[in-house]
Structure 1
């Protein structure tokens, strides 16, 4: 590839959002795009591709459908290409297996030569392009060739996603038997050999890992505990009107609010995106019910309102310090394996370190974004940097939601192209989030 070639856009990171952008751009003839990913192939949360788990959004939340159902990269076209349309038709489910979603994404990535894997972005700096415009120089380590490559682009789209989050005071213990749920499948065998396993957290990942470990406990006999500091093992909000908060309409409403109101709202909306699906809760309960027939209660414990405050190595395992928040009591407990289902956090990429003084931050030190997903910068005209799934504090709870990915990509593509390539609908929900101004009703004449 010619290093002096000017790309219209370079995407950094190839997760579902940037892969969807690549797929939608592939059907736009006049855009020169390149997407770079340090991993050697597409693989979406491989540590959590547990048998029986599904997406938490309908299959329409694929890479492209919510922007263009006619695209050749839709999930339905994937099914047709794999002779699975009738299988899916008879399945009669909206929520598809997580393994199949991953296979679908890999199928799309294999068709897009502009997606290059094994390419780690090391540095991004502003640059004046050969045609006189403003853009960026991207330095990349090509792992296969063991060389550094250089690319130039008018615009960037960062799709770097989030990273596993483990409380700071536990990180020194991370290893083979203390790990985040994102590593579960690669370390699952350790659980089978343990005398005791502890799962910490109250979200979907913690619940799925707990259930899978519980099924192994039946055969291997270890004790299993599940702790969460939340008030209970509560379901995620999934009512039809609740789902409307994951819409472009709510994003527009949320973006218009002052930042202090946004931050307060997000604190009150945990169960929109942090709870457990009702189906998973039901499956856990049904499993425990089956295990308890004949008063044969398994050595499994679930305890809410409880924070694990400390962790120390002890013999071949660990000593956990816990605190019951309601009874205000402390306790200690031994465990050979500790699994943190403590979520994910937005990562600030190291390749932007050379540009930290060019970027605009809010009072909390977070990136500031325009409504159309651009980073605010001091660079001046041209050379936009768009961000995927890093804008929850400015755009609301829908930022990480797969169902809004294609919409966000439509907005970004329209800005890149300077025209409407993909129509963006303005009325998608039945409810009103702000104050709707109505014309006064006409008074009937007498």
Structure 2
């Protein structure tokens, strides 16, 4: 009987495993079907950085003394002085991936090559069936609590040409970077991934000899909100405030906050502009088009080419753009693990088909079970707000879950972490209107 079993080993459950490894009295196991840890391999483009500071590692924000911190990783890699002279809060994405891989190799509770194939309620908690992906052998584990690391899958519109080898999601970019792109390339999307791919292709355009198009249905190629007070939305304080709002209001707020967690870093925009500026010296005209306010309604095959049926919404004009390769940076969708379909039947779901989740990140059950819980990692955007997928809040959420499992304050979680007030609860000198 384990205290907790985690399904999936992304950054969040890996962070929980790290915190629990330095916590006495809680026995845990974590499983992932991958043979070894990897994190967004298809987007580890050289020169790209995390969009959060290095302190958003697995442990620092709740236990900066942990041996699993990013700074200790640098120390063990003999890179502490290199990082010191780098003078950057934002680390290379490749290094973050390697840090997490290093972390996964330190933790005996993390088991790779193990696929969770079934889970169900049990009188003593939950029964979890785990299959070895190489041998097919299945083991049964009992646990008091389950933590679901909600995975995500590439999201693609239902275009006619879906399935064409020359139309693929941005998550495959680095795996296919060396392939022949043909005479023309189109990148679709307005977020950081689209911008990084466009910049990488722009850098290689003179060698590759291809036309390059970048299309987005949004109003422009805009930066993400990165002001200091804006960043305070990714705090426990804002999570507390957002959670107590009515669900219908939450569903209006989240889409209106796109600029907080979508968009492009100002540095990436500057790099793109600077390169375009240099390419136009002496009257040169690079074969590049940036098309905003332009929705790609459909993509179809036309022999070896792909035809993009486009619609410029302000001019209400339709046109067709052809490309040999199309890279869709169209985001990700949350995937409910198929193995937990029986467990899903015991959970409460809202009218939109989303799990009902408590402030303590517990999935609410049809029949409440005081001593046994299913916790959700990164599946609570609709209940807890924009901080749900943010790496900087991962350690806080894990500490919150661990405190709940332990039934005591294993980690001290501060109540006031930001300068501004979200809501009126702590406003000094306020008076009630009669």
Q: Aligning the two structures, in what range does the TM-score lie when normalised by the shorter sequence?
A: over 0.9
Per-residue deviation, 1:411: 0.1
Q: Which position in structure 1 is the counterpart of 2:105?
A: 110
2:223 is aligned with 1:226 = no
Q: Which moved more, 1:174-183 or 1:215-224?
A: 174-183
Decide whether the 8 Å contact of 1:203 with 1:275 is kept in 2.
Answer: yes
- List per-residue Cα deviations over 1:83-105 (Å, max 9, x = no partner): 11110010000000000001111
- Structure 2: distance between partners of 1:439 and 1:309: 52
Q: Which moved more, 1:296-305 or 1:47-56?
A: 296-305
Aligned pairs (5 A) from 1:3-402: 6-129=1-124, 135-169=125-159, 173-190=162-179, 192-381=180-369, 382-402=371-391
- List per-residue Cα deviations over 1:147-168 (Å, max 9, x = no partner): 1121111100111332211113
Q: Aligned pair in 2 of structure 1 residues 434, 293: CA closer, same or farther (>3 Å)?
A: same
Per-residue deviation, 1:410: 0.5
Q: Aligned pair in 2 of structure 1 residues 439, 40: CA closer, same or farther (>3 Å)?
A: closer
Q: Which moved more, 1:178-187 or 1:235-244?
A: 178-187
- Structure 2: distance between partners of 1:359 and 1:165: 25
Decide whether the 8 Å contact of 1:235 with 1:278 is kept in 2.
Answer: yes
- Structure 1: distance between partners of 2:3 and 2:254: 35
Decide whether the 8 Å contact of 1:40 with 1:117 is kept in 2.
Answer: yes
Decide whether the 8 Å contact of 1:203 with 1:274 is kept in 2.
Answer: yes
- Structure 1 runs (4+) deviating above 2 angstroms are 436-441
Q: Which moved more, 1:350-359 or 1:256-265?
A: 350-359
- Structure 1: distance between partners of 2:132 and 2:164: 29
Decide whether the 8 Å contact of 1:35 with 1:116 is kept in 2.
Answer: yes
**Structure 2 unaligned regions, length at least 5:** none
Aligned pairs (5 A) from 1:416-435: 416-435=405-424
Could you say what secondary structure the match of 1:267 adopts? Answer: helix
Decide whether the 8 Å contact of 1:14 with 1:160 is kept in 2.
Answer: no
- Structure 2: distance between partners of 1:253 and 1:202: 29
How many pairs align? 430
Could you say what secondary structure the match of 2:36 adopts? Answer: coil
Q: TM-score, normalised by structure 2?
A: 0.97
Q: Which position in structure 2 is the counterpart of 1:444?
A: none
Q: TM-score, normalised by structure 1?
A: 0.94
- Structure 2: distance between partners of 1:63 and 1:290: 40
Could you say what secondary structure the match of 2:173 adopts? Answer: helix
- Structure 2: distance between partners of 1:193 and 1:345: 27
Over aligned residue pairs, what C-alpha RMSD do you find?
1.4
Per-residue deviation, 1:379: 3.5
